[in-house]
A and B are shown apart, each in its own frame.
Chain A
Amino acid sequence: MITSLKRNPNAIRQGSVVVDVVLLVIALIICFITLYPFYFVIIMSISNPQEVAAMNVFWFPKGFFLGSYELIVRDTKMWWAYSNTLIYVSAGAFLNCLMAVLGAYPLTVRGLIGRKWVVAFILIPMYFAGGLIPSYLLVNQLGLYNTMFAVIIPGMVSIWNIILVRTFFSTIPEGLKESAFIDGASHWQMLFRVVLPISKPIIAVIAIYSIVAIWNSWFDALVYLPNEKLHPLQMYLYRVVVQQSVDLKTLSLQDTRNAVENMLSNIQLKYAIIVFTTLPVIFTYPFFQKYFIKGALLGSLKE
């Protein structure tokens, strides 16, 4: 009797104010750690360049200088890079979704001959790749080198995405598919008229992964696109950062002069470009949240 009346002092009591406060503080610290770098980059990009070079900016911008943004806006290379990135992102995301869906659907059809072998054939390249030079040779032989297709086509089939979509498709009730077949639907109609409309959540997931990945990618451009008019935005940023990180020790007096001139003007440019390249993704991401619809198939089948 007495033991039942004794309170366990270690038990977490619902509604404890102390716990709430502690959790809130932890959450604020994590928020700060996550958000401060973004804030820092923004204030560095608008501060006085000398203060930026001296790294004197911490909490608030020092001075106000939009010259770096002006330089970027006036640089036609940056606008080329922006439009290229938009092309790569839209084409890439669309093709990624399409390929994932087209790759996954056959794997969920009953009675597919040799399913085991097909799955193994698809899974092996997920773990082993040919390497850089074989890929380069392949892209070159296909005539994609130095064209936009070099960045779009090699990356458009992602085995991981196919597996994701296949897993999602396998949760679709067989009854739904059977009823569609009974009504005379072909596989194409099944895929595009029945399966896809209820797969919006997974398509949205694939789309956002692809968009973010392609937006941030630069390595393919580095290897396959010597023509700077085809460079995406991140490649433009890569070049600015590399320009700044030249090892002065290895240069002669004459070359050091040029390198230092470049380095100084690039210190703040780097931050301005980061803002330019990151903000669109930050603003777009929340809009995809509303497309993660759960339970779209509720009500489509009464069982």
Chain B
Amino acid sequence: MKLWKRTFLSGLTAVLLVGSVAACSSKTDNDASGTKQEGNGSTTSSEQKVTKLKMLGPAGINKYIKYDDRENYPVWSEIDKLLKKEGLELDNEFVPAEQYEVVLKTRMESGSNLPDIVNVSKLDNTTVLNLAKQGVLLDLNPLIEKYSNGNIKKMYDVEFPYAKKSTTSPDGKMYWFSNLHKKTYQGKDPAPVSLTMLIRKDWLEKLNLPVPTTADEYLETLKKFRALDANGNGKQDEVLAYNYPGQFTGAIAQWFGLGSGITAVDVENKKIVSPWYQEGIKDYFRYMQRLVKEGVLDTSLIEATGEQNQQKMTDNQVASLHDYNLENYQEPTIKGGGEFLPLMPLKAVEGITPAVQQEPHFLIFNKYAITKDCKDPAAAIKFFDMVYSEKYADLMFWGIEGQTYKVESNGAKVYLNNGPAEELAKTKQVTGNMLLGDTVFPRVQFSNLEFELASAPKYKADNELQVLNYKPYYVNMNNNFLAIPDDKQLETKTKILTNLNTYSTELATKLALGQKSLDDWDQYIAELKKLGLDQLIEIDQQLLDRYNSIQ
């Protein structure tokens, strides 16, 4: 009797435990399936059919302007109106941004618990294409043909014609929508910004030194900053913060006419170039060696982290660095204050016109896809039709006229309030991007240069105006100009880059530091060829050609 009782009691406890766990799961399942069954069909409210879309994306990273408080923001009411007009209701799952990559990868790889629309920006092109091959993500072109009201086509074909070039996969299909950004000046002229060498303007004025106009003058100026103790702390610790001499991505490389990476896109001439084969390469290394020898280049900052760079900046030791010409976030971090003047490209070698490094005036980035579990693709396309509309673009980038921006007499829009996020969160006068951008809401941006110039000091604005039409140039995001590689190209490229990148970066860094001699140049080039440099250039040229051929 007792044995039966004990066995029965143990069994009952086990059943209760398992039951409570299963109850939780069945509750979740019921919620999910309930949504699936009823939402992607319809919940009719009055006459309009309202469709629920399940969205998955990263939460916004702004500490003060939070999605949870969206009801308090006027811009959200406007966007909500757009959604309601289309009969859409969004069921958003926002995962903390720092965690999103892991959640996304596990969710997509397991193919379970998929939303209707997902932000897959954290996945590289190959992974996304593999998911598309497996059928997890849908081909968008047929859906656009069938369900779109024309907005998507207008944005992609007319306003941002380059968008398709970098988002069409090798099989001719498109599997994701993107953020679309373009910056113009006076309404129509493309307005790229530059990444250049910035130099301490206040130190130049303090020590009565002229602004350098050549590479040699630049070196002499940096030497003088040290010798005359520009930061006034009694130590010769004023340095040039140049993090990546071995990757050609710093603006000094472009002074010697070099491309901005191991392979780089010469946009104007539609050619792929490699610094290793360009005319100014040896002079570049000789110049870097001089910077190191004179002690102006801080070698401890080579390949340094953001925090290490910040340390030097806050400690008022950075005399010059590579950054955006219109940046305004470095100066407030300097203890005691300071000003950075952006330089135009400086002449370094006779016969070589120094190039500028540009951030292109158009940017196509991020990925938003529709998954196989989407029961109502028509509704998903409706969402993107809403996104790729001028009204939405305006609300997201500019906000509400009279509250967040105004239109100047020349027709250009400028922001009314450029204050820090903390302040804007109190007044609630924010743009849609600040509240929602890059979560599940793509960004569509018709930016202009005028508002940037209005908030920048004159010396930065003047520099930008000179950059607008400057040639020659290289771009900071070379991949923006290359089509997506097919499997074979990708496999070859990956195989080559694994070793070639390491060898190239190490070699270039050692040459810049003077640890390797330029006398063995032929050996180095032979080794680079052996590792596949020529093959890489050829593949990238094919990708560039395909990019240029996509209409």
Interface residues of A (CB under 8 A from B): 50, 53-56, 132-133, 136-137, 140, 142-147, 149, 153, 186, 188, 222-223, 226, 228, 231, 235, 238-239, 242-249, 252-253, 256-258, 260-265, 267
Contact = CB atoms under 8 A, between A and B. Distances in A.
Contact of A145 (B6, B113, B326, B335): B113
Interface stretch (B25-33, B42-50, B273-281, B491-499): B25-33
B109 A264 contact: no
A223 B101 CA distance: 10
7 contacts: A50-B314, A143-B29, A228-B99, A231-B96, A239-B96, A258-B61, A260-B329
B333 A264 contact: yes
Given A53-B333, A188-B6, A142 B28 contact: no
B21 A248 contact: no
Question: SS class of chain A's interface: helix, strand, loop or mixed?
Answer: helix
B306 A245 contact: yes
Given A149-B24, A244-B307, A264-B333, A140 B110 contact: yes
Interface in B9-28: 21-22, 24-26, 28
Given A133-B106, A136-B106, A140-B113, A256 B324 contact: yes
B24 A147 contact: yes
B110 A133 contact: yes
Most-contacted residue by chain B among A137, A246, A252, A257 (CB, 10 A): A252
B421 interface: yes
Interface string B294-318: 0000000000011100111011000
Nearest to A265: B63
A257 B61 contact: no
Interface in B91-144: 93, 95-99, 102-103, 106, 109-110, 112-113
B62 interface: yes
Contacts of B78: none
Nearest to A236: B96
Given A54-B315, A143-B26, A267-B310, A137 B112 contact: yes
A143 B113 CA distance: 11
A54 B324 contact: no
A126 B481 CA distance: 50
Interface in B51-72: 59, 61-63
B102 A262 contact: no
A5 to B, nearest CB: 62
Interface in B339-364: 359, 363
A247 B309 CA distance: 12
Interface of B: 6, 21-22, 24-26, 28-29, 59, 61-63, 93, 95-99, 102-103, 106, 109-110, 112-113, 181, 193, 249, 305-307, 310-312, 314-315, 324, 326-330, 333, 335, 359, 363, 365, 420-421
Nearest to B21: A149
A162 B551 CA distance: 65
Given A143-B25, A257-B329, 18 more contacts: A54-B312, A133-B109, A133-B110, A136-B106, A143-B21, A143-B28, A146-B28, A222-B99, A223-B102, A223-B106, A226-B99, A226-B103, A228-B96, A231-B96, A245-B305, A261-B420, A263-B306, A267-B307
Given A137-B112, A223-B106, A245-B306, A256 B96 contact: no
B22 A143 contact: yes
A256 B29 CA distance: 40
Contacts of A239: 96, 98-99
Contact of B306 (A231, A235, A246, A258): A246
A252 B359 contact: yes
B232 to A, nearest CB: 16
Given A140-B110, A222-B99, A253-B326, A248 B306 contact: yes
B426 to A, nearest CB: 16
B464 to A, nearest CB: 11
A50 B421 contact: no
Contacts of B324: 253, 256
Contacts of B306: 244-248, 263
B98 A257 contact: no
A243 B61 contact: yes
Given A243-B61, A256-B327, A56 B315 contact: yes
A240 B531 CA distance: 40
Contact of B25 (A142, A223, A245, A267): A142
A153 B95 CA distance: 22
Contact of A144 (B21, B26, B59, B63): B21
A253 B193 contact: yes
Contacts of A136: 106, 110
A242 B98 contact: yes
B106 A132 contact: yes
